[in-house]
Amino acid sequence: MDQSIAALASAIGMRVRQERQSRRWTLDQLAEAAGVSRRMVVNVEQGAANPSVGTLLRISDALGVGLPGLVEPPRATSLIVTRRGEGAVLWSGRSGGRGVLVAGTEPPNVVELWDWTLGPAGRHESEAHTPGTKELLQVQQGTITVEVADQSVTLDAGDALTFLGDVAHSYENPGTQPARFSLAVFEPGVGSGRRSGSRAEGVDA
């Protein structure tokens, strides 16, 4: 891990541990609630893992804090600014892509704002999110292909798409140049225990 990724992993680990201990949960209890392995929880808390976005979603939902709250603790202000380059890089692709969480709201109805880049032939696969999750995206540069369940659509710069994120889905750059898109995710009822107990985790390429 480079220094910035290691620092983020450490901050996430500390936040997970604080939230778990405040609930007086054991490692096994959090693992069971999140539907991930005990070893994964240990690795996350120690900052030793680079977990998938799907794993972080499961843990944050089990703790009832939402993904933005896992990355950045709540602040006593109604104005939260994220400067360019200060977003949380929660996914890095082999072809140079990045998924950066730049803003988010508090639970129970969480909205996340992402800045995504996919390198040529880059692909990100996501497991189904909690029931009722919706995603809205707009392509800023290049071309991306979005697969939602058994449907597929190709979008060019300026095109937008809205879809239900509670089924398996993926984003792929079929071109030879980098592609960039903005993504908003609405996840209602965070912390209500609606997430599936499956241990399947997102696949990043």
pLDDT truncated to tens, each residue of the chain (205 aa)? 567 778 888 889 998 999 999 999 999 999 999 999 999 999 999 988 778 888 998 999 899 888 888 887 556 567 788 889 889 999 998 888 999 999 998 888 999 999 999 999 999 999 999 899 999 999 999 999 999 999 999 999 999 999 999 999 999 999 999 999 999 999 998 876 655 433 233 334 4
Q: Is 56 helix (H, G, I), strand (E, B) or coil?
A: helix
Encode 160-193: b = buried (16+ Cβ within 10 Å), e = exposed. ebebebbebbbbbbebeebbbbebbbbbbbbbee
In the structure encoding, which two tokens stand for residue 65, read together?
A: 């804090």
Kindly state the helix (H) or strand (E) to which residue 22 belongs, with its residue range: helix 3-22
What lies within 8 Å, CB to CB, of 118 at 6+ separation is: 93, 95, 97, 124, 142, 144, 171, 172, 173, 178, 179, 180
Structure tokens at 99: 């998924």
Q: Which residues contact 104 (CB under 8 A, 6 or more apart)?
A: 66, 67, 68, 69, 71, 72, 110, 111, 112, 113
Please tell me the distance from the alpha carbon of residue 66 to that of residue 108, in angstroms, as a whole number.
8
Helix 3-22, helix 38-45: angle, nearest 10 = 120
* Alpha-carbon span 114 to 99, nearest angstrom: 7
> Which residues, listed in sequence order, are joined to residue 163 by a DSSP beta bridge?
135
Q: Does pTM top 0.85 for this prediction? A: no
